[in-house]
A and B are shown apart, each in its own frame.
Chain A
Amino acid sequence: MEILAFLAQGFAVALEPQNLFLALIGCVIGTLIGALPGLGPVNGVALMIPLSFNFGLPATGALILLVSVYYGCMYGGRISSIVLNIPGDEPAMMTTLDGYPMALQGRGGEALGVSAVASFVGAGVATLGLALFAPLLVQFAIRFGPAEYFALFVLAFATIGGVTGGSLIKSFLAAFLGLLLGSVGIDAVSGVPRYTFGLYELYDGIDFIVALVGLFAISECLIYLEDIRGTSRPTLKLGSAIPGVRSAGRCAPTIARGSLIGFVAGVLPGAGAALGSFLAYMLEKRWVGRDGRFGQGDPRGVAAPEAGNNAAAGGALIPMLSLGIPGSGTTAILLALLLSMNITPGPLLFEQQPEMVWGLVAALVIGNFVLLVLNVPLVSLFAKVLQAPGWFLMPMVVMVAFVGVYSLNNSAFDLYMMLGFGVLGYVLRKLEIPTVPVVLGLLLGGQMEFNLRRAMSISGGEWSILWSSGISVGIYLFAVTLIVAGLVYSWVVRGRLR
């Protein structure tokens, strides 16, 4: 009952007019930033910190503003995924796979509707988990050591085959290319530069935002340039979001599964929202199996990753608050904000500053509602954007991508690299090599390597540590089951076709 009292107190704080206003502003700005290619939750939150200082916001107000921006970005990222086939940020990458085909079929409004509801549920599940089970989940998260993390990444890459329904060889080629690109930069363990060719711009590795924007946004423009008259392009019609809300009902089991998977991935520091949405999509695809038309505009292919990435975003707050460990770039910045407000997240936070924690939970709930209410009517606005002629829309996308990437480091080097990735993405698409695994390899490769090396340091070079715990064995068995099931399934299907 103590919890309820705290929560009521939290809501009282969060519902004060000023805080409600901040939540609203945060949601709008967050959605906007999330939708712009190249700008994601990390940028959004980082941009808001000095702003909140400048307006002299109290700690609670600042936090409410920032988490609204955070959740808003997770909502917004999907918009350009669905409408333009260009993810606004990396957790929204998986949403392109079915969201854009839906838009091509004139069901973009439905896709936006499904994803808004899925995002809402995902974020809601995560908030509930944060409120009720944070201490328990922390106990679960710390059971994940380097070997277990490594197993988790292996699982992610084992499911990568058939990510887009194309050739298995090409999917895995793309994943290993991404992993190799991910090893560029100064090796944090030994301090040795790898594949940097003396360029200090590469010391910190290849920025996956630069790669993501290049591979998706720039390559999309190059595809567009093949046929500027648009003779072979279907005209996009978004339609209404209402069927989306209805089909979200049909996707309810999908959304539930996606939320859970995403939440678990979020609770594990270092795994993050991108892994959450990826696993939610891939596992749902396996789960649905032959009934699904994944990759060709299945609403479940939109619902799963959106529930997953929003649940992961909420889940990531748990290790940040109760262990002081940021699980992602965004939570790292939220952590920095808390520290500068003299709030030290850690094992004692929930006991020492319950009003802060419960105010945050209330803010998350309110932000989530605001976003849902905001997002469903927004669909018609995006429909208008789409009616802009391509010769205006595409240069706009390119310019937003350029400015977004430039603002990361103010470096022209990043822009050249983005162009390089644009050409790479274009060629890969022509070769029918999927680009999603490249980004995933780049994104997860570093952590995968570190955890492998940590595990080996712990064991003193004994490889057996990798499968010495129940958790990691369980994960490997799961991965093997998925692969075998996939092979058997495709064998049966092919057999029938012949």
Chain B
Amino acid sequence: MKSVIKNLSGVAATALLGAGLAVSTPSQALPISECIAPADPGGGWDFTCRSVGKLLLDLELVDSPVQVTNMPGGVGAVAFANVESNRADDSDLIVATSTVGVTQIAQGRYPGGADTMRWLGMLGTDVGVILVDDDSEYESLEQLLETVVEDPGALAVAGSSGAGGWDHIRALMLAKEAGMPDDQIGSLRWVQFDGGGPAVTQMMGGHVDVVSTDLGEIAGFIESGDVRVLAVLSEDPLPEPFAELPTAASQGYDVAGYNWRGFYTGGEVSDADYAAMVEDLQTLYDSDEWKEVAQQNGLVPLWRGGEEFDAFVRQSIDEVETISREIGVIQ
């Protein structure tokens, strides 16, 4: 179902905004009128756009609904390329991104680097989880990792990123921490699905053994008891309702793997517009409504904005690049 969904959900919203907006200069009235989710509806980036778009309106930071445009393809590369070549100075546009997107940049899979865009801010972070089916023989992370170290090819591990993507890297970081030698990394079997949900259901069907993905997207399966959480990859235990879930650190494996949710905009947006957008996002972050939405969806609210976020993104890219090189994803 590739690009059919592109744009469509938002098309009518623009129409309803009244065609007048399209010809006037939108940056004066509205700092943000469109959010590109570089994926199909239903995933994390789509959720980021939709929830933030809705809150911007609810909080009266914008006058009319924010148009959500789905632009799937190449784990965000299509949206990145599109903004770079067509919309670099579009001062009413934000694009959802996350650690997953930044991982792609670090591995050189986007048509540009961090300098191509202006990084606005992050609003919260999702956290990695390692799951097995509820009737799996593995009761603890230790058991699982022992098997993996002993025979790296024994288990099929699935997630929503491609080979070498963030879900995969997080699983490999754990395996490395557990003592798997570097030359064995290639034997671990990694299977990509279209999202965390499909990966989990394929595990429930017995087609793969372990899933490494983000908590938010599959929280429903944890609540229903269909899956067993062996570890959450956060430094500290999560807030309710996930406080009971064991962290990897508490089981002796010092690995944390977050997936923050944030936004970028085109590289040629003026400083004034950039500042206005950052300010809007910060106001949104400070609201109680955001805290509530975040909590409901398994996100931990966390703010970094403007220059600070820009520096953070660059630092993340460096870190992921280092890890990717160690693991052998890039040479």
Direct contact of A and B (CB under 8 A): yes
- Give the residues in chain B near A345, CB-CB below 8 Å: 220
Whether, in the assembled complex, B78 has its beta carbon less than 8 Å from a beta carbon of chain A, the answer is: yes
Whether, in the assembled complex, A412 has its beta carbon less than 8 Å from a beta carbon of chain B, the answer is: no
- Give the residues in chain A near B107, CB-CB below 8 Å: 191
* Interchain CB contact under 8 A, B81 and A200: yes
Whether, in the assembled complex, A415 has its beta carbon less than 8 Å from a beta carbon of chain B, the answer is: no
- Give the residues in chain A near B189, CB-CB below 8 Å: 457-458, 460
Known A-B contacts A189-B163, A200-B85, A457-B190; A339 and B9 likewise in contact (beta carbons under 8 Å): no
Q: CA A174 – CA B12 in complex, angstroms?
A: 36
Q: CA A145 – CA B193 in complex, angstroms?
A: 11
Whether, in the assembled complex, A3 has its beta carbon less than 8 Å from a beta carbon of chain B, the answer is: no
Q: CA A419 – CA B79 in complex, angstroms?
A: 25
Q: CA A200 – CA B71 in complex, angstroms?
A: 12
Whether, in the assembled complex, A340 has its beta carbon less than 8 Å from a beta carbon of chain B, the answer is: yes
- Give the residues in chain B near A342, CB-CB below 8 Å: 296
* Interchain CB contact under 8 A, A454 and B75: no
Whether, in the assembled complex, B19 has its beta carbon less than 8 Å from a beta carbon of chain A, the answer is: no
* Interchain CB contact under 8 A, B74 and A333: no
Shortest Cβ gap from B295 to chain A (Å): 12
Q: CA A47 – CA B13 in complex, angstroms?
A: 8
* B82 closest partner in A (C-beta): A200
A457 touches which one: B16, B192, B195 (CB < 8 A)? B192
* Interchain CB contact under 8 A, B198 and A325: yes
B5 touches which one: A193, A323, A333, A344 (CB < 8 A)? A333
Whether, in the assembled complex, A395 has its beta carbon less than 8 Å from a beta carbon of chain B, the answer is: no
* A146 closest partner in B (C-beta): B207
Q: Enumerate A42-70 residues with CB–CB distance to B below 8 Å.
A: 42-43, 46-51, 53-54
* A344 closest partner in B (C-beta): B220
* Interchain CB contact under 8 A, B8 and A43: yes
Q: CA A458 – CA B13 in complex, angstroms?
A: 42
Q: CA A50 – CA B187 in complex, angstroms?
A: 48
* Interchain CB contact under 8 A, A46 and B5: yes
- Give the residues in chain A near B205, CB-CB below 8 Å: 142-145
- Give the residues in chain A near B156, CB-CB below 8 Å: 457-458
Shortest Cβ gap from A427 to chain B (Å): 25
Q: Enumerate B60-94 residues with CB–CB distance to A below 8 Å.
A: 65, 67, 71-75, 77-78, 81-82, 85
Instruction: Give the size of the chain A interface in residues (CB under 8 angstroms).
Output: 63
* Interchain CB contact under 8 A, B4 and A207: yes
Whether, in the assembled complex, B208 has its beta carbon less than 8 Å from a beta carbon of chain A, the answer is: yes
- Give the residues in chain A near B71, CB-CB below 8 Å: 204
* Interchain CB contact under 8 A, A323 and B65: no
Q: Enumerate B1-37 residues with CB–CB distance to A below 8 Å.
A: 1-13, 16
* Interchain CB contact under 8 A, B4 and A408: yes
* Interchain CB contact under 8 A, B73 and A204: yes
Q: CA A458 – CA B208 in complex, angstroms?
A: 7
- Give the residues in chain A near B40, CB-CB below 8 Å: 326, 329, 332
Q: CA A42 – CA B82 in complex, angstroms?
A: 22
* Interchain CB contact under 8 A, A325 and B197: yes
Whether, in the assembled complex, B162 has its beta carbon less than 8 Å from a beta carbon of chain A, the answer is: yes
B41 touches which one: A54, A272, A335, A347 (CB < 8 A)? A335
Shortest Cβ gap from B267 to chain A (Å): 16
* Interchain CB contact under 8 A, A324 and B197: yes
Whether, in the assembled complex, A203 has its beta carbon less than 8 Å from a beta carbon of chain B, the answer is: yes
- Give the residues in chain A near B75, CB-CB below 8 Å: 188, 191
* Interchain CB contact under 8 A, B7 and A203: no
- Give the residues in chain B near A319, CB-CB below 8 Å: 201
Shortest Cβ gap from A195 to chain B (Å): 14
- Give the residues in chain A near B16, CB-CB below 8 Å: 50-51, 54
Known A-B contacts A336-B50, A348-B220; A191 and B3 likewise in contact (beta carbons under 8 Å): no
Q: CA A141 – CA B206 in complex, angstroms?
A: 12
* Interchain CB contact under 8 A, A346 and B111: no
* Interchain CB contact under 8 A, A408 and B6: yes
* A53 closest partner in B (C-beta): B65
Q: CA A266 – CA B39 in complex, angstroms?
A: 22
* Interchain CB contact under 8 A, B3 and A204: yes
Known A-B contacts A190-B163, A342-B296; A347 and B12 likewise in contact (beta carbons under 8 Å): no
Whether, in the assembled complex, B223 has its beta carbon less than 8 Å from a beta carbon of chain A, the answer is: yes
21 contacts between A and B (CB under 8 A): A42-B4, A47-B12, A145-B205, A147-B207, A185-B73, A186-B77, A200-B85, A204-B71, A204-B73, A325-B201, A329-B4, A332-B1, A332-B5, A333-B9, A336-B46, A346-B220, A346-B224, A348-B220, A407-B11, A457-B163, A458-B207
Q: Known pairs A143-B206, A191-B75, A336-B9. 19 more at Cβ < 8 A?
A: A46-B12, A50-B9, A50-B13, A185-B2, A185-B73, A203-B74, A204-B71, A324-B220, A325-B201, A326-B40, A329-B1, A339-B42, A340-B50, A340-B51, A408-B4, A408-B6, A408-B7, A454-B191, A458-B191
